[in-house]
Amino acid sequence: MKSTDFIVARNDLRQCKFIETRLPEPAALPDEALLIKIDRFAFTANNITYAQLGDQVKYWQLFPAPENFGNIPVWGFGEVTASRHPGVEIGERLFGYFPMATHLVIEAASVSKRGLRDAAAHRQGVAAVYNAYARVSGDAAFAGREGDCQALLRPLFMLSFLVDDFLSENDFYGARSVMLSSASSKTAFGLAHLLHTQRKGIRVIGLTSAINVDFVRSLGCYDEVLTYDRATSLPSDSPVAFVDMAGSSELRARLHRHFGEQMKYSGRVGLTHRSASPDEPELPGAKPVWFFAPDQIRKRAREWGPGGVDARFGAAWSAFAPTLAKRLTVVEGRGASAVKQVYLDTLNGHIPPEQGHMLSLAE
């Protein structure tokens, strides 16, 4: 048996190709192993960031590829087509982290009613969320368009939820405006939605490219929308917080110099613009810091007790998900050429923000 895998050159993401890898025959799978056919997966700028940070954050180790290449992790759905685990049946549907491929073999462990994890040695030493699979057979919330929205947005919305919670817990560091870069991104508009609906008195400002201004305005969750070149036309005499999905060193420096000591918080979240310099100068205002989601989850898990994070996140997701019908068009792509095209278009910033791409390499 063979799997078709899409791999990219680690030091030049423009180079990409398909390879075939050999899979064990179902009868030769080791004890506890599952063979999974990967049905469909979401692809957004977040996946490109995984590739950019592949070495630093160990993303490349999750789904091994030939030397100097990597297989980008994606969120999606798979179907168990062979099982050597007594607690998992053929035909089961799983939601979780997959490679861009047709198949994956995992070592099922910690099998419970709701999920399981991959205990393969090379997948250890990363955050638990990257090894966990939810058992979603028959769950309507993970089927059809709703399922696509889960794959496209739920992992991103967790970040939106945590940043909103973190800022609110810290009383926005005294700011009464929050600026978001790459305001058109799914992660940013999830956060804008939470700030807009829950944090009265906080002004939400979206910074985006000229081509995406209309879309960002149409979202209805930003009080003001500005193109990047106009960001410094904002008054600089009141306190602001900055949540940065774009990761542009030039934009960050310009904003810090404009707002000076009124820049009360400067959180780094993303790298959509792929123009971060490794050596950034000292900037006026709050020191830019990476927002590290697992820290906030751990803190809240301690404070809110068992199930507390899930319950609050679930409630936030339930209020957000229905708004996606008018904000997001799901676009399907099947087969190798569609996958390659969406990958390259995402890499080059050519995907319109209202689109959410669901891909499949499966025949």
Binding residues for ligand NAP (CB under 6 A): 44-46, 49, 156, 159, 182-187, 208-209, 212, 245-246, 269-274, 293, 348-349, 353
CB 21, min distance to ligand NAP, A: 27
CB 173, min distance to ligand NAP, A: 19
Supply the DSSP symbol for 31: T
CB 124, min distance to ligand NAP, A: 20
E strands present in the chain: 2-9, 12-22, 33-43, 69-70, 74-83, 93-98, 103-109, 115-118, 132-135, 177-180, 203-208, 224-227, 240-244, 263-268, 289-290, 329-334, 355-360
Considering beta carbons, is residue 11 or 137 the nearer one to ligand NAP? 11
CB 2, min distance to ligand NAP, A: 30
Considering beta carbons, is residue 46 or 177 the nearer one to ligand NAP? 46
Considering beta carbons, is residue 262 or 291 the nearer one to ligand NAP? 291
CB 121, min distance to ligand NAP, A: 25
Query: Residue 177 corresponds to which tokens in the numbers above?
Result: 């405006």
Inter-helix orientation angle 144-169/293-304, to 10°: 80
CB-neighbour burial class of residue 334 (10 A; exposed 0-12, middle 13-18, buried 19+): middle
Q: Can you tell me whether residue 264 is helix, strand or coil?
A: strand
Cα–Cα distance measured from residue 167 to residue 195, given in angstroms and rounded to the nearest whole number: 10
Considering beta carbons, is residue 273 or 300 the nearer one to ligand NAP? 273
Considering beta carbons, is residue 8 or 245 the nearer one to ligand NAP? 245
